[in-house]
Amino acid sequence: MPNDETLRTKSIERELRVENPTARMLQRLNPALAAAFVPPDTATDTVLELVVTIETGDIPTKEFSSYLALIDRLYGRLSREGLRSYAHSTSARLLISDIHKSELEVIFRALYQDDTARLIAILLFLKSLPNMFKLGTEGARNLAEAYKSYEEGRLIRENRKHIKEAVTQEPALDKVDKSIKDKMIRLLGALLIEENANLPAPIRFARQKVKKVAVVLRRPSRPQSYKPGQRKFFLKDSDDESTKSK
């Protein structure tokens, strides 16, 4: 007989077969999330940045690429068209615009009115990664093999706990109604089921190299510095900290 967790997982999987329910759910959450992360007097041309700060030196190529690929897939899964359409699209894709030395920051940029909820959902998912799958694997030589050895339902259940922790411990969501947090946890849980098999390398990279993940509001210095028709992310120095909100 299937246990409650298996039935719950199958129920969410059935929902995922419907035309991109995560994007519809995210759209309903957008007003509350925008109010939590974006001040009410924010100018309409303000740029929202998802900033991932990475330790430089000996960056493992495989894990780094897997981490970026995870972000790309999450972005596609949360789009209205869904991951399949996103993957075959030739526009609105994430592009590396620049690379500099010093402390490495990976910056995903969008107008806050367009992608606030989507970037916040990715933020919370990424924050939960370092704590995922700690069921006796700290000394495991091969995280991927250990990951495969656990029963899927148990694994998802444990990882969902860390998603819940990321949501409930996020300072910006302190004053957000519990029902909104519960919906966000459910949404991220749906993404977890979709991405479960792909997580070992991103988890390993998050633990070893990611120093911080944050959302930043920034006014563009020039009108042409952001083009709404194109999604980009930037790799750059972290020297300019003066305008970063915490």
Q: In sequence order, what DSSP letters do the residues of 68-81 get, joined into one string? A: HHHHHHHHHHTSTT
What tokens does 243 get?
A: 């305008």
Q: Return the higher-pLDDT residue of 70 and 86.
A: 70
Q: Residues of the chain with pLDDT > 70: what percent?
A: 68
Query: Mean pLDDT highest for which of 63-67, 91-95, 136-140, 154-158?
Result: 63-67
Do 74 and 243 touch, CB atoms closer than 8 A?
Answer: no
Band (pLDDT 50/70/90 cuts) for residue 57 is: confident
Band (pLDDT 50/70/90 cuts) for residue 100 is: low
Q: Looking at residue 205, what is its pLDDT?
A: 94
Name the β-bridge partners of 209.
Answer: none
Q: What count of other Cβ atoms lies within 10 Å of the Cβ of residue 62?
A: 10
Residues 140, 121: Cα–Cα separation, whole Å: 30
- Which whole number is the average pLDDT over 168-191? 93
Q: Looking at residue 246, what is its pLDDT?
A: 42
- 110: Cα within 13 Å, side-chain hemisphere: 20
pLDDT higher than threshold 90 for residue 124 = yes
Min mean pLDDT across 113-117, 204-208, 210-214 is at 113-117
pLDDT higher than threshold 50 for residue 182 = yes
pLDDT higher than threshold 60 for residue 45 = yes
Q: Which of 104, 96, 98 is nearest to 56 (CA)?
A: 104
Residue partners of 8: CB distance under 8 A and separation at least 6? none
What tokens does 224 get?
A: 């042409």
Global pTM reads 0.74
Residues 107, 180: Cα–Cα separation, whole Å: 27
Band (pLDDT 50/70/90 cuts) for residue 90 is: confident
